[in-house]
Structure 1
Amino acid sequence: MPWKKNFVNYAFIAAITLLITAFQSSGEDFIQFISNKLHRYREVLPVEKAYLHLDKPYYVTGDTLWFKAYLTEGSLHLADSASNLLYVDLIEQHSGRNAALKRVQMTGGIGRGEFVLNDSLPPGAYTIRAYTNWMRNASEDFFFRKNVYVFNHEEKVAADTPAGKIDLQFFPEGGQLVADINTRVAFKAVNEAGFGQDVTGFVLAQSGDTVASFRSEHLGMGRFQFEPKTGESYRAFIKEADGKVTPFAFPKVHDNGFTMVVDNLSNTLKMRVICYAKIPGKTEIPVHVVGHARGIVAFVANGKIGSRGLMMQLPTAELPDGITHLTLFDDGNRPVCQRLVFINHSRSLNVHIKPSKPEYKPREKVDVEVTVTDSAGKPVEANLSLSVTDAGQILQQPFDQNIVSYLLLSSDLKGFTEQPAYYFDPAKSERKIHLDYLMMTHGWARFKWEEVLGDSIPPAKRYVEQGITLEGDVKRNNKKLTEKTALSLFLSNDSLSTFMTTETDETGHFTVYNLAFSDSLQLRIQGMNKKGNQSLSFTLNPFDAPRASVVKIPFKPVTVDARQLADFLKNAARDQEISKKIRENRERLLREVTIKAKKETPRDSRKLYNSADATLKVTPQMASGYMTVLDMLQGRVAGVSVMGSGMNAVVSIRGNRGEPLFVLDGMPVDKALITSLNVYDVESIDVLKGPSAAIYGSRGGNGVISVLTKRGNENYDYSQDIVPGVLVTKIAGFHTPREFYSPKYTPTSPPDQNPDFRSTIFWAPLLKTGRDGKARVSYYHSDATGQADILAEVLSPAGQPGFGKSVYPVR
């Protein structure tokens, strides 16, 4: 049954009170206190989670990496979070360099995109990340991350890298070792590549006696019983394959404190929590055990730890699937022990993938039906993405991350989770105890109790983005502004043209939020008041991507079979060579076409006349020395006299008594408008005398001065405009996703002689199931024979994830 949005399950608490004999009278007050604190924290700093479904686990240079993006809120995994902009970037692991960045527009928590892995991209290990601006308020450990490898066409499978130096850490259950209290100690060993490493070892006391031994059971993890003694200290050692013994630090033993042991495996409907304490002068200590799942309180149990400890039987039927965080609070309401447990009632969605036939032929049409149901077997309307790959080229990674394992497990753990889907595979009988090892060796780190219980929560430094943010700084004469300044912005592209205004703060900083446009926009920004505008300078702040940690020892983060890799690289090279030849043929055809004709200069529609008696072309260098158009004319055109300057200038053309007719972009205007023009906006000045001016009739009797502006020219390119006090540039918008190309091989289609060995046979990121819980797709298989893998990832609007896979043979 779905998890209700209660912050405290009071019915659950009532059941617990029947099982615990000693309670503080202030128990209800503590329940309200802790619930309010967590609720307040979630209001101020709510969590978002991002997830990417990729079409395959590894690629080759020249390939395309396709992805589907899911964005949820962090507590209930509702599919429509607050942010509408998701950043997806590709990080080169050995250098930490950001190789590519996409701004993905999210609609209802759903988006898509791709990275074209150009030949210029160095082969090697990469990490693809996904995060929102709001997610950057928390640790970057909670960004979505996935390791991929980009091969080159000549690469071969390298031999396995030796494990190298091993790191071994110990984790006492509950958080600490207390003298003379028997507890359990978990451990985890990892190699230099960050993967779990199997180890065998022992623990020695100061006397040199062996007091415990241990052996890892799964991915370098395991646990053992241990009872530390008063005044004793311990060291751990591992035995390596060559017989070498390596020492490691062992946790410190505390004379006083609390311990907490949790059994979440013996009974599927209840968990048993056992608490012990050793505090001088106290025989009974009132305590609280708080359980919360993703920041929402699930239960609060109260009791007293006596000389024989305290045992609680806590029902789990109403807890949500995923990680529940247990905290033991002492009588001063201080957190003293913590423990993670995983609840799995199998409430994830069931995804059944059914091809229409038991087997297919190369290039045959494939029809696939995907059915999504809940745990009760009822159909579910959901959003899903589906990938089909050639199993002869692409080896699906063992127990690779999927949307279920990520949302319920990995997204709430700090650090790398190896083979996360293993813990959700019903065929693995030991998965539950191995998952408990994982819970003991990973800590909850999304918040600290001190922050939650404190009177003031630090405000978020970054905001929720629902569109593109334009941010920059304005200076006057290269100095910071001392007052607010109004700005005008003109944004345009082929399909959009808009004008808006904004204002800087007192220091000259300005921000424009929630711009919604794809690809790029041309931006023109300037001050709105004429006074001092030319002394303004503008700087746009580029997007500052989070720094990525550098992996010191490069490794292949994928498992690849030598034969499959050879086929993959051979077929990729062949497909790219075919595409290259097609492009070359098209270019050759274009070069063979020769067009001969006399070039005609297009007539400027602003000119009534065919030619002028004199033309002055205005350059930025020329304009920089003058205030008005008439000042530029002075002494530059024979027969034109300009007396005075600025607004008071008097103009005449030799042989005429009065002032000439002034024309601006083909329209007669008065002299005042001409003298008020910005000289940097002027393209050229034409002077017409005598007969040339006759086309304007009697108005041109004293000659004509025709001013042509850059903006009046229909071919004017704002990006070439250099004007003091004005910034013209382009800004990036939402990524415009490409469509996945899938060829059609119908009986009526002309035969295609080019071989088709796509590694990604089909990619459908935007599928939806109907009321019957079904979605259907059709595509044509490639020339490959063997087996095809189908993977589907699903998320319902209510936040229930699902994952399914299937195969079909091709002969």
Structure 2
Amino acid sequence: ERLVFTDHSDALKIGISQTGSGTRQKATLNLNVTDVAGTPVDGSFSVSVTDMGKVAYNEEDETTILSNLLLSSDIRGYIEQPNYYFTNTDDNKRRQLDNLLLSQGWRRFVWKDIAAGKEPEISHRPELALEIAGRITTLGGKPLTGAKVLLLSTTPDFPLLLDTVTDARGNFVFDRLDIPDSATFSVQAKGLKNSQDVVIKVTEGAGVTVKPYFGKTTDLSAYLETTKEQFSVLVDQNMLDKRILIREVQIQAPKQIKVVNVVGSANVMGTADAIFGKERLEYETSLLMAFSKIPGITIKDNKVFSASSRKTSITGNKTPMLFLVNGVEVMQDEILIMNPRDIEGIEILVSNYNLTVYGEPGLHGVAHITMKRGKDRPPSTMAFKRVKSRGYSVIKEFYAPDYDDPNINKNMQDQRSTIFWKPNVITDTNGKGSLSFFNSAAPGTYRVTVEGMDAFGNIGRNVFTYKVQ
């Protein structure tokens, strides 16, 4: 089938008014958004303000909400100037757009699949939240149903331990995650009856295909020069972050190395009754086998107990030891499937002195397990998979000076090329929205770009300019 573009002429009408045109003066933008019939609408809009003398601008070369949602997203081939077809449209441009679709707007489908109700296979789940998903199979590729999967954080100062089981197709998912940027995890699994015939395949996020750039080049020299100047000013004023720059200090004395039982251990006591280091763990085939070789430990029914503990529960059975992984309490069943080579060391605490700070939960002994980090971690085995960089970075606010603040140096250079940016300006039910910012110290023509969408999915864009003197 061939695509045909139909212009419904239903774009939102975005009205922009502005006050404040002096250098370093507060400027206010007022938005008035209506639909094509003139009815006020509420919606979400992005607003950017740039100095046209420092940022090159050609509306036909821009990538906009109109060109992206209405054209580029439906065509596989390269479009040199997508927004050309949405700028000052006339019969000639509409004919040119139809010619573009005549050459690039084709796509295939199979009638038999449509008649049979066969739907295309979905390779990625809808992104409703952060998640880590994948599939567990045997070495032969057969899906494993009911396999237990463990997700363990290996990120310093971010403890997390979750578990789940696979569905009938061997799929698993850890969803609704709240994790930071650059977080790293270990995904571990075991088959039924602790079978080692396990392969983990973690679903990668939908990647971005890198395409070669064709078309005209843009001269960024003016933008780069002003950006360098502005960066130098911010460095001199210590305004890039809340830290204070100091002169370099050279330390002549040798660094004192603090001796600990296990590097990176969360053991607050700093002492242990027995230690099983990474040198010995390298040769162990299972974590349960490693525990069986530690003095003061007994193994029964695949559980780890303190040999010196005579205290029992109300059922008359001995209570297993408390397991802490990087300082986080975990169930023994969840951790004993781990690869011993992933562990920096194990500290066993069974004496009354070492157990004092753990209270009742530690009455029957404590096992501190410290995971390896970074380059010290061994290569993955089939039952283990590394996952990283799946989180979001800390939200950072776009820098803009506040000249009403008496602590701001009003004499410093202000060479901003991007004067203001806000991605989520909300209009109310009357279609009204307002925002304020300060102009830079440089006079010139400033360009305001507003684009966004109302609550019903209608989109719109408007460009407004004003003079600063």
Q: In the TM superposition, what whole-angstrom CA distance separates every residue of 1:583-626 from its partner, at most 9, and x where no partner exists?
A: 79945358489999999889999899x978xx653234424358
Q: In the aligned structure 1, how far is the partner of 2:63 from the partner of 2:15?
A: 19
Partner of 2:120: 460
Q: In the aligned structure 2, how far is the partner of 1:673 from the partner of 1:413?
A: 61
Contact 1:487–1:525 (CA under 8 A) maintained in structure 2: no
Partner of 2:10: 347
Q: In the TM superposition, what whole-angstrom CA distance separates every residue of 1:619-640 from its partner, at most 9, and x where no partner exists?
A: 344243583545455xxxxxx9
Contact 1:388–1:789 (CA under 8 A) maintained in structure 2: yes
Q: Match of 1:383, SS?
A: strand
Change beyond 3 A, Cα 1:808–1:617: same
Q: How far has the Cα of 1:799 moved from its partner?
A: 2.5
Contact 2:3–2:105 (CA under 8 A) maintained in structure 1: no
Change beyond 3 A, Cα 1:579–1:595: farther
Q: How far has the Cα of 1:449 moved from its partner?
A: 6.8
Partner of 2:43: 382
Q: How far has the Cα of 1:753 moved from its partner?
A: 4.5
Partner of 2:402: 744
State the one-letter code of the partner of 2:230: D
Q: In the aligned structure 1, how far is the partner of 2:131 from the partner of 2:146?
A: 19
State the one-letter code of the partner of 1:456: A
TM normalised by structure 2 equals 0.68
Q: Match of 2:96, SS?
A: helix
Contact 2:184–2:389 (CA under 8 A) maintained in structure 1: no
Q: In the aligned structure 1, how far is the partner of 2:354 from the partner of 2:405?
A: 69
Superposition pairs for residues 97-116 of structure 1, below 5 Å? Answer: none
Q: How far has the Cα of 1:778 moved from its partner?
A: 0.2
Partner of 1:618: 276
Q: In the aligned structure 2, how far is the partner of 1:544 from the partner of 1:480?
A: 23
Tell whether 2:39 aligns with 1:393.
no
1:433 aligned to 72, 79, 92, which one?
92
Q: In the aligned structure 1, how far is the partner of 2:267 from the partner of 2:11?
A: 69
Change beyond 3 A, Cα 1:523–1:419: closer
Q: How far has the Cα of 1:791 moved from its partner?
A: 0.8
Change beyond 3 A, Cα 1:425–1:670: closer
State the one-letter code of the partner of 2:228: A
Structure ID, larger Rg: 1
Q: In the aligned structure 1, how far is the partner of 2:389 from the partner of 2:354?
A: 48
Partner of 1:255: none
Contact 2:144–2:191 (CA under 8 A) maintained in structure 1: no
Contact 1:339–1:440 (CA under 8 A) maintained in structure 2: no
Superposition pairs for residues 749-760 of structure 1, below 5 Å? Answer: 749-760=407-418
Q: How far has the Cα of 1:761 moved from its partner?
A: 0.7
Contact 1:794–1:803 (CA under 8 A) maintained in structure 2: yes
Partner of 1:442: 101
State the one-letter code of the partner of 1:455: A
Contact 2:30–2:432 (CA under 8 A) maintained in structure 1: yes
Contact 1:489–1:501 (CA under 8 A) maintained in structure 2: yes
1:575 aligned to 230, 235, 238, which one?
230
Query: Unmatched 5+ residue regions in structure 1?
Result: 1-334, 634-639, 649-659, 697-705
Change beyond 3 A, Cα 1:695–1:361: closer
Give RMSD over aligned pairs. Answer: 5.0
Contact 1:349–1:373 (CA under 8 A) maintained in structure 2: yes
Superposition pairs for residues 398-413 of structure 1, below 5 Å? Answer: 398-399=59-60, 400-412=62-74
Q: Match of 1:570, SS?
A: helix
Q: Match of 1:710, SS?
A: strand
Q: In the TM superposition, what whole-angstrom CA distance separates every residue of 1:17-57 from its partner, at most 9, and x where no partner exists?
A: xxxxxxxxxxxxxxxxxxxxxxxxxxxxxxxxxxxxxxxxx
Contact 2:52–2:447 (CA under 8 A) maintained in structure 1: yes
Change beyond 3 A, Cα 1:763–1:496: farther
Q: In the aligned structure 2, how far is the partner of 1:422 from the partner of 1:687?
A: 75
Q: Match of 1:568, SS?
A: helix
Q: In the TM superposition, what whole-angstrom CA distance separates every residue of 1:693-717 from its partner, at most 9, and x where no partner exists?
A: 9999xxxxxxxxx976234xxxx45
Q: How far has the Cα of 1:482 moved from its partner?
A: 7.5
Superposition pairs for residues 450-599 of structure 1, below 5 Å? Answer: 451=111, 455-456=115-116, 458-462=118-122, 463-465=124-126, 466-472=128-134, 474=136, 483-490=144-151, 497=160, 499-503=162-166, 509-512=170-173, 514-520=175-181, 523-527=185-189, 531-532=193-194, 538=200, 540-543=202-205, 545=207, 547-550=209-212, 556-558=216-218, 560=219, 565-580=220-235, 582=238, 586-588=244-246, 591=249
State the one-letter code of the partner of 1:760: T
Q: In the aligned structure 2, how far is the partner of 1:769 from the partner of 1:410?
A: 27
Tell whether 2:449 aligns with 1:791.
yes
TM normalised by structure 1 equals 0.42
Would you say how many aligned residue pairs link Structure 1 and Structure 2?
415
| Larger strand proportion of the pair | 1
Q: How far has the Cα of 1:390 moved from its partner?
A: 0.6
State the one-letter code of the partner of 1:403: I
Q: In the aligned structure 1, how far is the partner of 2:254 from the partner of 2:148?
A: 50
Q: In the TM superposition, what whole-angstrom CA distance separates every residue of 1:444-487 from its partner, at most 9, and x where no partner exists?
A: 746547549952354222244123453445567x6656753521
Contact 2:135–2:171 (CA under 8 A) maintained in structure 1: yes
Change beyond 3 A, Cα 1:384–1:406: same
Q: How far has the Cα of 1:362 moved from its partner?
A: 1.7
Q: Match of 1:575, SS?
A: helix
Change beyond 3 A, Cα 1:694–1:569: closer
State the one-letter code of the partner of 2:227: A
Contact 2:46–2:422 (CA under 8 A) maintained in structure 1: yes
Q: Match of 1:758, SS?
A: coil
Q: In the TM superposition, what whole-angstrom CA distance separates every residue of 1:310-368 from its partner, at most 9, and x where no partner exists?
A: xxxxxxxxxxxxxxxxxxxxxxxxx9xx7846445x332211111124xx222111111
Q: Match of 1:662, SS?
A: coil
Q: How far has the Cα of 1:369 moved from its partner?
A: 0.6
State the one-letter code of the partner of 1:356: T
Partner of 2:23: 362
Q: How far has the Cα of 1:402 moved from its partner?
A: 2.7
Superposition pairs for residues 142-161 of structure 1, below 5 Å? Answer: none
Q: In the aligned structure 1, how far is the partner of 2:41 from the partner of 2:271?
A: 74
Instruction: Report sequence identity in percent.
Output: 19
Q: How far has the Cα of 1:383 moved from its partner?
A: 1.6
State the one-letter code of the partner of 1:540: V
Q: In the aligned structure 2, how far is the partner of 1:461 from the partner of 1:619?
A: 48
Q: In the aligned structure 2, how far is the partner of 1:385 from the partner of 1:482?
A: 45
Q: In the TM superposition, what whole-angstrom CA distance separates every residue of 1:375-430 from its partner, at most 9, and x where no partner exists?
A: 3333222221111001110121142343234444554555444544444455x7xx
State the one-letter code of the partner of 1:486: A
Q: In the TM superposition, what whole-angstrom CA distance separates every residue of 1:94-151 from its partner, at most 9, and x where no partner exists?
A: xxxxxxxxxxxxxxxxxxxxxxxxxxxxxxxxxxxxxxxxxxxxxxxxxxxxxxxxxx
